[in-house]
Amino acid sequence: MLSAPLIILLQPRGLAWAGATAAALASFAIAVALTIAVLDGQTQVYAMGGWPAPYGIELAVDQFSALVLLVVTGAGAGALLAARSSIDQQIEPERQPLFYSAWLLGLAGLAGIVVAADAFNIFVFMEISSLSSYVLIAGGPDRRALPAVFKYLIMGTIGATFYLIGVGLIYMMTGTLNLADMEARLGDVTELNPILVAAGFITIGLALKAAVFPLHVWLPNAYTHSPHMITVFLAACATKVAIYVLIRFDYMVFQSKLDDHATQFAQFLMPLAILGILVASAVAMFEGHLKRLLATSSVAQIAYIILGASFVSESGLAASAMHIFNHALAKGGLFLAVACLAYHYRDLRLDQLGGAAARMPFTSAALVVCGFSLIGIPGTAGFISKWLLITAALESGPLGWILVAVILVSSLMAVVYIWRIVETLYFSDSAKGDIAVAEAPYPMVLVTWLVALLNIGFGLFPTMPLTLANASAALLMGYSG
């Protein structure tokens, strides 16, 4: 039952939008079923080919992977539901089947990473997901996507290679590829230097993939020039899967066995996270292109997640897991609204979008709701994770106050850049005189509003993701204890 999402998603041809959406929805349903199954703390395990774990490949879903799996499949299903008209506009009909099958492969790759319990298996699915995301990003009518994707390709390949080098070194010292088995066997390894180097390689490789500052240079251009719906999908889940692997690998395999690893991990990632938050937010404040603005803010948001993980505490991890979920909601919603805007506006620079709220009232309102969630205004989902993050920062020790200040300052910066968007949409004069209400096609607006409402819903009633996030934090800390 566990492999079902993969099998369904791997059925490659078929195509076109209906097939792809049906497959994505099915996988989302399976993810929901899995989540319910693991809510009571039971880890679901599936041995591929019927071979027991260290010999064959094992899939495992616990609370943490269930949370991320929900995000991935949800983002895939939501974006695909809304995608039809936007994709029709951006991609020629005869190339669409290829495009949708690449999209499904990307979704399958990401989902495969999340459920994998085997280091090499993660690499294989990482290759699938990265290859297909290169294709998807380059797929749009915007030719500037090609250099952007080339940069992404080079950096992504370096990241994957680093990861593989790390896995190779660990295999050399332990003789196993299964994550749980690796952790058990690391206890017997006396020479820890190769493991240390491996940890470094894996961390840097995955940080590249996750666009952790300062390794994020590929991200803004790639997001800006890709087809709008692809931006929705990738922004909501692609980098988060890399962070997921990073956190899982580190806590599950390294934390308990390497002395001082927790401190090294924190000292390496925390400054990067703080710098990332501040620099990226500042850049976003002065950015004039709507998509690039949001993409840059993604770099800052990813840094929040990393910051939470770098506390190496249960509350920090819970904040991270929570922010993975909430940021996907907020940023996914924002990019969906952008896609709706783009349906009528070719040029997404802010100075071209004046007065858009009068023409597209629903879209603009949804954009504002998701923007509030991104800032972290009470009542929206973003508030919950910011609150958790601040609590975790205060618990982390004497330096906590500085971190809280950083979080608050960057939230203010977020207010500034979201306000710039709102100001343009609502209070600027329309660039052209005629004010006719012309919304995007209704499936797009509907999905956008659904996501916007979820932002509020999970802001007021955060029990479900919160339970999962707390459980996954406890689980991860349990490994390192």
The residues that touch other proteins, with contacts defined as CB under 8 A, are: 3, 7, 10-13, 46-51, 54-57, 94-95, 98-99, 101-102, 105, 108-109, 112, 118, 120-121, 124-125, 127-128, 131-132, 134-135, 138-139, 165, 169, 171-176, 185, 189, 191, 193-194, 196-198, 200-201
Q: How far is the CB of 193 from other proteins (least distance, A)?
A: 5
Beta strands per DSSP E along 5-150 = 44-47, 58-61
Looking at the Cβ atoms of 14 and 355, the one nearer to other proteins is: 14
d(CA 388, CA 97): 43
Angle between helical axes of 228-249 and 193-210 (0-180°, round to 10):
160
Q: What share of the chain is helix, strand, coil (3-state, %, to 5)?
A: 80, 5, 20
Nearest partner of 323 among 248, 255, 236, judged by Cα: 236
DSSP, collapsed to helix, strand or coil, labels residue 54 as: coil
Q: How far is the CB of 328 from other proteins (least distance, A)?
A: 23
Are 300 and 277 spatial neighbours (Cβ–Cβ below 8 Å)?
yes
Q: How far is the CB of 338 from other proteins (least distance, A)?
A: 24
Give the amino acid at 187.
Answer: G
Looking at the Cβ atoms of 98 and 282, the one nearer to other proteins is: 98
Q: How far is the CB of 278 from other proteins (least distance, A)?
A: 25
* Tokens 């994707």, located at residue: 149
Read off the DSSP letter of residue 354: T
Are 230 and 90 spatial neighbours (Cβ–Cβ below 8 Å)?
no
Are 444 and 343 spatial neighbours (Cβ–Cβ below 8 Å)?
yes
Q: How far is the CB of 123 from other proteins (least distance, A)?
A: 9
Q: How far is the CB of 289 from other proteins (least distance, A)?
A: 24
Angle at 230 between CA 439 and CA 419, to 5 degrees: 55
| Long-range interactions of 146-155: CB distance < 8 A, separation 24+ | 147/221, 148/218, 148/221, 148/222, 148/224, 148/225, 148/226, 149/222, 151/217, 151/218, 151/221, 151/222, 152/218, 152/219, 152/222, 155/208, 155/215, 155/217, 155/218
Tally Cβ neighbours within 10 Å of residue 280: 26
d(CA 168, CA 271): 29
Looking at the Cβ atoms of 107 and 403, the one nearer to other proteins is: 107
Looking at the Cβ atoms of 7 and 460, the one nearer to other proteins is: 7
Q: How far is the CB of 375 from other proteins (least distance, A)?
A: 37
Looking at the Cβ atoms of 99 and 311, the one nearer to other proteins is: 99
H or E stretch at 321: helix 314-344
d(CA 290, CA 311): 33
Nearest partner of 212 among 252, 248, 239, 180, judged by Cα: 239
Angle between helical axes of 442-460 and 63-90 (0-180°, round to 10):
160
Looking at the Cβ atoms of 119 and 285, the one nearer to other proteins is: 119
Q: How far is the CB of 141 from other proteins (least distance, A)?
A: 13
Q: How far is the CB of 24 from other proteins (least distance, A)?
A: 17
Looking at the Cβ atoms of 132 and 373, the one nearer to other proteins is: 132
Q: How far is the CB of 275 from other proteins (least distance, A)?
A: 20
Q: How far is the CB of 391 from other proteins (least distance, A)?
A: 37
Looking at the Cβ atoms of 100 and 362, the one nearer to other proteins is: 100
Looking at the Cβ atoms of 47 and 450, the one nearer to other proteins is: 47
DSSP, collapsed to helix, strand or coil, labels residue 61 as: strand
Residues present in the chain in total? 481
